[in-house]
Amino acid sequence: MLLAALRAGPASRAALASRTGLTRATVASLLDPLVRVGVLVEETAAPAGPGRPARPVGFGPRSPVAVGVSIEVDAVVAGASGLDGVSAGRRRVPRDHRALTAEAIYAGAAQVAADLAAELGRPVLGTGLALPALLSGTPDDTVVVRAPNLPALNGTRPTLSPAPAPTPRRTARSLTPGEPTRRSPGRVLVGNEATFGALAHLDVAPDLVYVSADVGIGGGLVVDGRVLRGTRGFAGEIGHVVVEPDGPACGCGGRGCVEQFAGRDALLATSGCADLAALRRALERGEPSAVEAVRRAGTALGVGLSSVVNVVDLPVVVLGGLFAELVPHLLPAVEAELATRCMGHPPERVVASRHGDAATVRGAAEAVLAEVLADPDRLLELP
């Protein structure tokens, strides 16, 4: 509770006592051990008036981070967040996972996460590992049920260790020469990419639909501040809501799913662009074929979201990943379908994610931070 209160910014012990309703003695007893180990630092403030100056306490610049790492179809993305939820660094490494074995995919992700942690030189609380897949089990004991776009992962147990030997990095200037750059990923929490993406938007609204496009389309429902997981953890597959029952065959086994009209491959095919860079240029130039392709994707997405909203009645839609950058061209068609098809109650807002394609790794890191904030004693046991 105390650490959660500090996420709003540094505060004096008195202010924290007032924010949390704890006594100043309790606040001190909880803060002081964290100041001693360097997780929190006392700022040297100018005397704030008569008497003893209030010295704000905040998260230290070398305080621990949580890492999120996302295995996308053609890239590994890693990002680190401090206890305050602020991004501490991020990297994206292009890699066509479709040509790799599961072992190579996981080892590569582990390396990217380890390199990022080494570069930051801050203790790692744990790592959230995001996959474009249906998963079963628990976040710390997971099996991949089905990864439609990366079938090599089907049936595997995701892991970030053991990883190959570390790559020494010139940029890791904070490290003593000779110190190994490989950092333990700490506790690893595995989750679906879009479920983590939804988690990154809890500050937008307590109830929302998150839908995000990369090669596939994923989604997550947030109800009352919590991600709706479904009985078997498979909820949120908005990419596989049916738009045209007899439409194109989908990797899921069905036909005419949202993904077949609004996923990246569909967008490139209908716009005639070779890749995303070409699509972006065509949209900037206002080329009618590109604009029309995105509009049609928006219509299909809007039809699918109407079905979703009619079933779960959530008032906010957040468009993430590729959808976020396409919002200027996508939104009118999405909103038109929602306005017509949502039985008397279209969502109040449809917004672009602020986090773009970083939402997944932010959410994956947040999942780790949420555990730590609920049990701050773990911060005292860091190496």
Catalog residues that contact a copy of itself under the rule CB under 8 A: 134, 145-146, 148, 207, 219, 221, 223, 228-238, 240-245, 252-255, 257, 299, 303-304, 306-308, 310-315, 340-345
Give the integer Cα–Cα distance in Å for 87 and 195.
19
Helix, strand and coil percent figures for the chain, each rounded to 5 = 40, 20, 40
Q: Please report how close the Cβ of residue 199 comes to a copy of itself at its closest, in angstroms.
A: 17
In the bound state with a copy of itself, the residue whose beta carbon lies nearer, of 74 and 244, is 244
In the bound state with a copy of itself, the residue whose beta carbon lies nearer, of 144 and 279, is 144
In the bound state with a copy of itself, the residue whose beta carbon lies nearer, of 238 and 369, is 238
In the bound state with a copy of itself, the residue whose beta carbon lies nearer, of 94 and 245, is 245
Q: Please report how close the Cβ of residue 310 comes to a copy of itself at its closest, in angstroms.
A: 4
Q: Please report how close the Cβ of residue 269 comes to a copy of itself at its closest, in angstroms.
A: 19
Q: Please report how close the Cβ of residue 314 comes to a copy of itself at its closest, in angstroms.
A: 6
Contact 180, 121 (CB under 8 A): no
For residue 350, list its beta bridge partners: 317
In the bound state with a copy of itself, the residue whose beta carbon lies nearer, of 49 and 245, is 245
In the bound state with a copy of itself, the residue whose beta carbon lies nearer, of 62 and 234, is 234
Q: Please report how close the Cβ of residue 237 comes to a copy of itself at its closest, in angstroms.
A: 4
Give the integer Cα–Cα distance in Å for 88 and 102.
29
For residue 217, list its beta bridge partners: 213
Contact 275, 298 (CB under 8 A): no
For residue 76, list its beta bridge partners: 71, 93
In the bound state with a copy of itself, the residue whose beta carbon lies nearer, of 217 and 364, is 217
The two tokens of residue 326 are 């396409």
For β-strands 226-227 and 217-223, DSSP reports them as antiparallel
For residue 137, list its beta bridge partners: 142
Q: Please report how close the Cβ of residue 247 comes to a copy of itself at its closest, in angstroms.
A: 10
Q: Please report how close the Cβ of residue 210 comes to a copy of itself at its closest, in angstroms.
A: 12
In the bound state with a copy of itself, the residue whose beta carbon lies nearer, of 154 and 181, is 154
In the bound state with a copy of itself, the residue whose beta carbon lies nearer, of 111 and 195, is 195
In the bound state with a copy of itself, the residue whose beta carbon lies nearer, of 47 and 230, is 230
Q: Please report how close the Cβ of residue 214 comes to a copy of itself at its closest, in angstroms.
A: 16
> What's the order of all strands across the beta sheet hosting 349-352?
226-227, 217-223, 208-213, 316-321, 349-352
For residue 349, list its beta bridge partners: 316
Q: Please report how close the Cβ of residue 317 comes to a copy of itself at its closest, in angstroms.
A: 12
231: Cα within 13 Å, side-chain hemisphere = 0
Query: Which of these, 224, 248, 228, lies nearest to 238 by C-alpha position?
Result: 228
Give the integer Cα–Cα distance in Å for 260 and 248.
6
Give the integer Cα–Cα distance in Å for 292 and 185.
44
Alpha helices (H) along the chain: 2-6, 13-20, 24-36, 102-120, 193-199, 259-262, 264-271, 276-284, 288-312, 322-341, 359-374
Q: Please report how close the Cβ of residue 345 comes to a copy of itself at its closest, in angstroms.
A: 5
